[in-house]
A and B are shown apart, each in its own frame.
Chain A
């Protein structure tokens, strides 16, 4: 499987995702500069976390205008899987590859902590190594993770099963107390209609070994390796 990681000037989880991908694929991803105009042939494109352009404007808004994004959008539309984590999710919404927006956290503070997520379905290329409905522990680290979309969009995401991950408690219930940032319906991540594009605020690449405090993120990269190799 050939993976490409897009590097914006203020990306700061590009190395972390490269480490996670290398561990799962046994092959280093290509690191692609945002100023380039084409992504090399890839089975997976990743938009990493960070502060792409400082995020002084809306998070991800400027990154969505980077030269490379034209090709990312084109390749996504041609069916190449695109994974956006944290700032990458914000870029995906700004680029129109996923609906909705990520607003400032409900408590207006940056929040870095482990949260519990429910894996809504395990028939995607990202989640085959999880059980459907499984509750996993993955960290978040964001200031703008409060997912919002209009009622109609939310309804269609829910109806079509495009919610990928939800913030839940230990029992798997999407309670208000389990929602760290105020996201509508506790949404932590969503798929595109063809299930090839995934955007999520939590960082699966940060918990891939017991030394880091857990490995619930690792199955996502195993799933991708299985599906795309």
Chain B
């Protein structure tokens, strides 16, 4: 970085001293020449160093959504259940009885690759702050993780670091990490994805927003002191990696979960009074984005004196302080006169509390240090004038449907099953989730390992179900169908436990948006997601976009991770995947066409994923899921599992392993190839286990709704057997299934 000259006082203290702007300096701030020209037009003079820094982060892809905004606007964000859609720190959904769920998912991909423990930890810390800054106590964390190939030299280090980082932060906070998903794929070798989701619970009349309405109000800084860490984190997260990425380590923040726990308790304590007018966490772009967003939403100006900001280092410039991403900090605007009572709360929790400025009627962000104005910018323009690009995009070419007949024959279905269940894609994730405290808070009624995790709404019979999903290989092959499938998969997982899906958050991880093919993936996925959300009345209430997940010109597969939540009125009615009793009929609902393209089975046989992914029939999904949920709530089902990755036989095996009871299956005698029946990944399918005597009635009931339904087996013993087609002992499967990750990682 060039030497940046300090601004000096000008006549009247109006404008800071301009910096000597060179092309290199502009480029270092991630601005294009056109963007800098635009900046000059807006402020009508050469910016100071601090102002250039402020524009740089505000206009970064990470903060401004400049490549994605145009398309995001097309997503469905409304519904009777929605209290707050995108645009605030997190989305808010009504749970009834005066309570709301506040939730969001966010990426911490770039920092986690550079420093996996701290990158992941601060990702978790950041998303929890987004939730409790709105007045909610976090009650569940989830995540969506993508790593490189298992055999990649760095994977082991990254998985260990990321998992320990998530555990270290969430466990200390005392918020259960109840669910998530993990994929391994060589295309993430140089760009892992760490997406963290948090769900909080709040009273609907105690939700806090970031609009700082009112003039002459104190602007208050609370939490950790500001240091030089994480400067330009948002800019880093808006650029590609190259071979020197390790050198970006100083841009990674360091987490302190204990301080965040104090901050959580202090904020909630203060929120129980009426002192807070507006509050916003200092996340990406720290003091800059929090102050600009609060001032902009409130239609006011902020006048801040940086000398009053608690600092943990000496000699920090205004530039550094405005761009620092030190963790565990919040900015608040309080009612005048409430400062002493508020300070007392933060004193009790041993946290800094400092009035650093006030709101003004000038509409300007004025930043002072040592009596000198270091920045003086129009808030509304700064917030709203970020460039918006309609980047050129190329629609992803349609792939041919792979015929099952083109795959090699498989003699032993169970050997294939064992390879799948004991491989990277489908092995047990227990090694991961056992490092997360998933039971703290005493409300986890659906633990990790099922279709959706469920936590009780404390003190009630209600359960909040949550799941994260996306199948990147589907999205890569057909962004539109993949986008649909990602949404539907969470909806199905929530349905499979008996809950009614309410809304989603998302984390849109893609490569470099200036490449038309990547932009085509983005546009396609969003169209698919939008259609799925509309068809399922399952709106998007919050989210995050992470672009430039690319190294040396090679991007990740499109990965729009979806985090869904749902509600069940009585958690005693929850079902699980576990087949726990003998003598249960296993019923398959949904049509099996034997779609093998992009299936795990295809990769097992051919070493690669090819062709079109399974299509998603949204109307059928909804009819099927609604019918299954109704059956669950009527109490007729003993176990339920949706059929997804790996297909039918894998889903059956997962049910058997979960309950430690085997099954005897009818041989397949239909028209499609046998292997495709057992391992195809057709959508809109569920497996139901019911007492044998009730099977006929339930099949008739579902068939009447036009759903293809048949009994395919009966639970029994400790093996999975296909009549006349061999068998496998559960113990054999379990050894393979549970052994893979510990062997890889320990």
Task: Verify A51–B258 contact, CB threshold 8 A.
Answer: yes
Q: Interface size for chain A: under 10, 10 to 19, 20 to 34, or 35 or more residues?
A: 20 to 34
Per-residue CB contact flags for chain A residues 124-149 toward chain B (1 = under 8 Å, else 0) read 00000000000000010101000000
Q: What chain A residues lie within 8 Å of B443 (beta carbons)?
A: 212
Within 8 A of B (CB), among A176-223: 203, 205-206, 211-213
Task: Verify A51–B437 contact, CB threshold 8 A.
Answer: no
Q: What chain A residues lie within 8 Å of B77 (beta carbons)?
A: none
Question: How far, in whole Å, are A11 and B262 apart by their CA atoms in the complex?
Answer: 10
Task: Verify B437–A110 contact, CB threshold 8 A.
Answer: yes
Q: How many residues on chain B are close to A (CB under 8 Å)?
A: 35
Task: Verify B456–A12 contact, CB threshold 8 A.
Answer: no
Which residue from chain B places its CB closest to the CB of A13 in the assembled complex? B440
Tell me whether A112 and B436 are in contact in the complex, defined as CB-CB below 8 angstroms, given that A9-B262, A211-B571 are known contacts. yes
B164 at the interface (CB under 8 A from A): yes
Task: Verify B172–A111 contact, CB threshold 8 A.
Answer: no
Within 8 A of B (CB), among A60-88: none
Question: How far, in whole Å, are A32 and B571 apart by their CA atoms in the complex?
Answer: 32
Task: Verify A107–B746 contact, CB threshold 8 A.
Answer: yes
Q: What chain A residues lie within 8 Å of B171 (beta carbons)?
A: 51, 110, 112, 141, 143
Within 8 A of A (CB), among B691-746: 746
Task: Verify A54–B256 contact, CB threshold 8 A.
Answer: yes
Task: Verify B440–A141 contact, CB threshold 8 A.
Answer: yes
Task: Verify A9–B261 contact, CB threshold 8 A.
Answer: yes
A19 at the interface (CB under 8 A from B): yes
Q: What chain B residues lie within 8 Å of A13 (beta carbons)?
A: 174, 440
Which residue from chain B places its CB closest to the CB of A51 in the assembled complex? B172
A41 at the interface (CB under 8 A from B): no
Which residue from chain B places its CB closest to the CB of A49 in the assembled complex? B440
Task: Verify A212–B257 contact, CB threshold 8 A.
Answer: no
Q: What chain B residues lie within 8 Å of A51 (beta carbons)?
A: 171-172, 174, 257-258, 261
B350 at the interface (CB under 8 A from A): yes
Tell me whether A211 and B572 are in contact in the complex, defined as CB-CB below 8 angstroms, given that A15-B441, A109-B164, A110-B167 are known contacts. yes
B439 touches which one: A55, A56, A203 (CB < 8 A)? A203
Per-residue CB contact flags for chain A residues 33-58 toward chain B (1 = under 8 Å, else 0) read 00100000000000001110111100
Q: What chain A residues lie within 8 Å of B456 (beta carbons)?
A: 211
Query: What is the minimal beta-carbon distance from A32 to any residue of chain B, in angstroms?
Result: 14
Per-residue CB contact flags for chain A residues 82-114 toward chain B (1 = under 8 Å, else 0) read 000000000000000000000000010111110
Query: What is the minimal beta-carbon distance from A127 to any residue of chain B, in angstroms?
Result: 21
Q: What chain B residues lie within 8 Å of A9 (beta carbons)?
A: 258, 261-262, 265, 349-350
Q: Which residues of A contact B (CB under 8 A)?
A: 9-13, 15-16, 19-20, 35, 49-51, 53-56, 107, 109-113, 139, 141, 143, 203, 205-206, 211-213
**CB pairs A–B below 8 angstroms (18 shown):** A9-B258, A10-B258, A12-B172, A13-B174, A13-B440, A16-B440, A20-B442, A35-B348, A50-B174, A51-B258, A54-B261, A55-B258, A56-B258, A110-B168, A110-B435, A112-B433, A143-B171, A211-B572
> Other CB < 8 Å A-B pairs besides A54-B261, A110-B436, A212-B443, 17 of them?
A10-B262, A12-B174, A15-B441, A16-B440, A51-B171, A51-B172, A54-B259, A110-B168, A110-B435, A110-B437, A111-B435, A112-B433, A112-B435, A112-B436, A211-B571, A211-B572, A213-B445
